[in-house]
Structure formats: C-alpha cells, structure tokens
Amino acid sequence: MKKLVAIIAVLAMALASFAGITATGPNFTTAVSGGVSFGLLFEETGFDLFVDNGALYTADWSMSVSISGENVDADYPATLTANFAGSFPNYDAVPTFLSATYDDDMMTLGFVNSPYTGTVNSYYLANYDYDGNGLVDDPIGTKYMTANFKAIDLDFTYITLDNLDTRHATSEAATSVVAGDVMAVNYPFAYELGSGNINAAFWGANTDRTAVTLQSTTTSGKFMGFAAGTDWAGADMVDGLYMAAAFGLQSATDITAFDESAYRFNVGYNKDFSVVEDPAVTVTPHADFEYRTDNPFPFRDTAYTAAASEIAAGVDAEANLGMAGVFGLYDTVTYDLGASPALSYEYGVTYSNEEIHELFNVSAQFEKMDSTEVATPFGLTAKVWGGMSEDMYAFSYNVELAGLSGALVPLTDMASATDKYVAYALNASVYPVEKVSIDASLYNYTLNDYGYDSIAKLAEPVWTLDATYKPNTILSLGGHLGTEENWGDFTAIHWYLFAKASFSF
C-alpha cells in the first residue's frame, strides 16, 4: 500500500515538472462500519453462548488523484481525475480502479470500470429495476466509456460486453472485436415549444446481452443490430403533448443479414387541469396512440416485446376534500387495432384519508378487474391503520383486505375473505420503569418485496411477548415468548432468556 502511494506521488510530481502542469492528491477517504451481538442464552434445550451473525464489519477506502495544467501544444486548461478503491483486511492488495474523468474546454471524457446502468433509449438500449430494490436488474457489459462534445452537446457511449484483449489479436480473435461492443450517440435538443432527444445505437450481441462469436454463424441467437429513435415532450402552449419513435434492424440468420426489424411510434397527451381550488379538484384528460412490432433487440425494455397497435383514452379526476379525504376516479378505454379489433376497459375509484386522527387512517381502491367486460367483475382493496405513542406506552395496528402482493380481492371471493384475504397486525409496548420495555405483537401474515407473501386465517396468527432491560446502550437482559413456528396454535410456545452485549460502529 505504501509503495502504491509512493508511486502515485512520484508520478504526480513527474507530470507536474512539465509544461506548468500541477498535481493534487492523492486524496483519501475511509469508512468503517459494522456491529456485533453476543451473550448467554437459556432456552428449552438448556444454556448456550451465541453470536448474532458473527462480527460484521466493513472497512473501505477510496482515493482520487487530480492532475491539471496547460497543455504543451495548446493554451487551454485540462484536468484528469482518477478514482481507486480497496477494502480491509486486504489493505496490501492492489487497489481496484473505479473510474477516470478528463475535462477541458472542448470535451469531457469518462471511463468507468463497471457495467453500464444508464439508458439511451427505452426501446433499444435501456436498463430497468423491475423488482424495485433500487438496483438495475441486468446492467449492460463489463465497462464503458462516455464522451460529451461541448460545442454541440453530443453524447457518445461505448460499452464493452466482455474483457477480450485484442492488442495482440490473432486473425481469428480480430474478427470478434466488434462482436462484443455497444455504441450509442445522443443529441438533446430544446426549443420554445418543447425538448427531447435524438439517438442511435449499434451493437454486436446475442440474446443474453453478451458477445457473439462471428465465426459461428449457425449459433442460435442474435448478431449485429442498429437502431435510431427520437422523443419529444411539449412545453408552453403544447404542454402535455408527447411523441416517441424508433426504428431498427437486427441480424438473426447471418451476421450482417439484418433480417429482423422493429418499429415503434407513440404519440399522446396527458395533463393535469385545476378546475376548482377550494376544495382542490384536478381533472386529467389523457390519450395515447401506439404502434409497435415485435422487438428482437437484446438491450430493450422487455415491456415492448410484443406487436401492438392501439388507441387508449380517458379522463381521470381527483378531489381533495381535506378532513373528508381524497377521492379519485380513473378510467381508460382501449381500442386494439390489431388483427382482431376489440375494446377493453379499465376504471376504478380510490379513497384515502389520513386527516381524521392518528389512530384512524383509511384507504381503499375499487376497480374493474377484467378489461374485456364493460361492467364486471370488480375487485377491492381496503386498509385501516393507526397508532400513537406516549412516554409510558406505544400502540399501532393495521388491518387490510388484500390478496398476495397487494392484489385486488375479487368481489366473488368476499365470502372467503377471512380465510386468505384479511391481514392484520397489533403491536403494543409498555415502559413501566426507565430502561425497561415490554413488547407484544399479534399478526397473521409475512411479507416479501412486493407485499404479502402469505396471509393466515383470522384465527391462526402468531403472537410474541418480549421483556427487555437495558441498563446502558451496550448491555441487554430479557426474555421472549412466542409461537412463530406454530401459526394458529396459541399453546405451542417457545421461550428463551438472554443476556447480551451489542454495539455498532
């Protein structure tokens, strides 16, 4: 590690000796965090010692080096910044190169040593977070480079899909150079009546978003492709109007056949209008026309994989009545222009109120579930929740009518709602004396990332009871009773007593 720092410092000083170039850094930032709990446990099977999850900690450092100055051949300033990172306990390992940025009056160049997580065009070069965890599900490639040419504000992106080194490539490897690349350009524009983008992309990849072997033309999958598109959103007099279009070709049978095509055209209107200020009433007319063909491109939005041609329109409304709650109405009628033209319908009513009292909040949604029928069937979700806390106690509850993952409950299933559609939880805490808490819970569901993973019958919940004494922020003594492993059996109790030390940093 010390040798690395010395090398970087020598390099910076050496560069600084030419043409008035100055160097700053290396600059270090560090972060250490973690935690551990350990102690004595006494349960049905006897005494034991425990460590919760082991000693968890992270110790990371990052470093940046910045070099700036006047170029020998041109009189303009330039800056190069490089970023590295490492982690302990491997502090003596070679650090990981993260990124570098070069900037001058004409351009900004970036190099990132990780997969591409951005989006150029949602139809043919996009990334998405479908599971909602805040991370891109399938980022593209292994590393990428960006360039912005300031005079015309043109952006260029180059993504490599693998780590093929072709500096000394044989004739066989050289033919694979373009087979693992994605290149894209984007030009943003803005005028008085709106703004948007014009972009294009070229790639050599298969359906798995990885490089293809050009020699194996019989390999199943896709090969080279290119696409171009534009999007525009109106402003001022045409605010709410939008448009998007794209066209592309993809090879399916031979490398350069370009025998698969995809089109997309989308134009629509969506804007909120305030019709009454007190109480606040908002009306939102919306209309959309879309035409698209099957999309074979490996880097596109998977929501646009099927051919479709349709017109959709409706008018939504919302009324905020203060203490009386917020009422919403939404509807969309869609006409399918495909081989079998047909109308479909979506409409519903929503209500929410969080103004009544902290102990009583309510929300509900009533919606037609099958879009092929005009008036039936309908589904419903509803929730009531609340809570309050004081110095000596805290209390909260929630009761919800919902299906798994928060789905609507069909009205035809209401007779069996208490068996699988009503989820509830009751939580209470009492603080009889300082540093002592008694916590009780009763609940009949488990959760996943999207909502309810399971809902037990009303009479088959789990209950828990915990008592804890914390003389300080490190030590805890207490006990636990519960039926977590025996849903619905109130007498199948497990228990334990504990004395533990916990700390985090």
Strands 494-504 and 475-482: antiparallel
For residue 289, being part of any structural domain is answered with: no
The total domain count for the chain is 1
What does the CA dihedral 383, 384, 389, 393 come to, rounded to 10 degrees?
A: -100
d(CA 46, CA 43): 5
d(CA 382, CA 365): 6
For residue 6, being part of any structural domain is answered with: yes
For residue 3, being part of any structural domain is answered with: yes
Question: What 3 state SS string does 198-231 have?
Answer: EEEEEEECCCCCCCCCCCCCCCCCCCEEEEEEEE
For residue 8, being part of any structural domain is answered with: yes
Strands 451-455 and 494-504: unpaired
- Which residues have C-beta within 8 Å of that of residue 253, sequence separation ≥ 6? 259
d(CA 478, CA 498): 6
Count the Cβ atoms, other than its own, within 10 Å of residue 186: 19
For residue 26, being part of any structural domain is answered with: yes
Q: HSE of 247 in the Cβ direction (CA atoms, 13 Å)?
A: 0
Q: Which amino acid is at 41?
A: L
- Which residues have C-beta within 8 Å of that of residue 282, sequence separation ≥ 6? 272, 273, 274, 275, 317, 318, 319
Question: Three-state DSSP class for 9?
Answer: helix
Concatenated DSSP letters of 340-391: S-EEEEEEEEEEEEEEEETTEEEEEEEEE--TTSSS--EEEEEEEEEEEE-S
Q: Which domain holds residue 4?
A: 1-37+48-93
d(CA 216, CA 211): 12
Q: Which region holds residue 421: left if phi is over 0, alpha if psi is between -120 and 50, else beta? A: alpha
Q: Which amino acid is at 197?
A: N
Give pLDDT tens digits along the chain (505 positions): 444 444 444 444 444 444 455 666 667 677 777 778 888 888 888 888 888 765 666 677 677 776 665 444 456 678 888 887 776 555 555 677 888 898 888 999 999 999 999 999 988 999 988 877 788 888 999 999 999 999 999 999 999 887 655 544 454 444 455 677 899 999 999 999 999 999 999 998 888 888 776 554 445 567 889 999 999 999 999 999 999 999 999 988 777 788 889 999 999 999 999 999 888 999 999 999 999 888 888 888 777 777 789 999 999 999 999 999 999 999 999 998 877 888 888 999 999 999 999 999 999 999 998 777 787 789 999 999 999 999 999 999 999 999 998 889 999 899 889 889 999 999 999 999 999 999 999 999 999 878 899 999 999 999 999 999 999 989 999 999 999 888 989 889 999 999 998 877 7
Q: Tell me, what DSSP letter sits at residue 150?
A: T
Strands 260-270 and 280-292: antiparallel
Handedness of CA 419, 420, 424, 425 (dihedral sign): positive
Predicted structure pTM score: 0.75
Question: Three-state DSSP class for 305?
Answer: coil
For residue 78, being part of any structural domain is answered with: yes
For residue 383, being part of any structural domain is answered with: no
For residue 217, being part of any structural domain is answered with: no
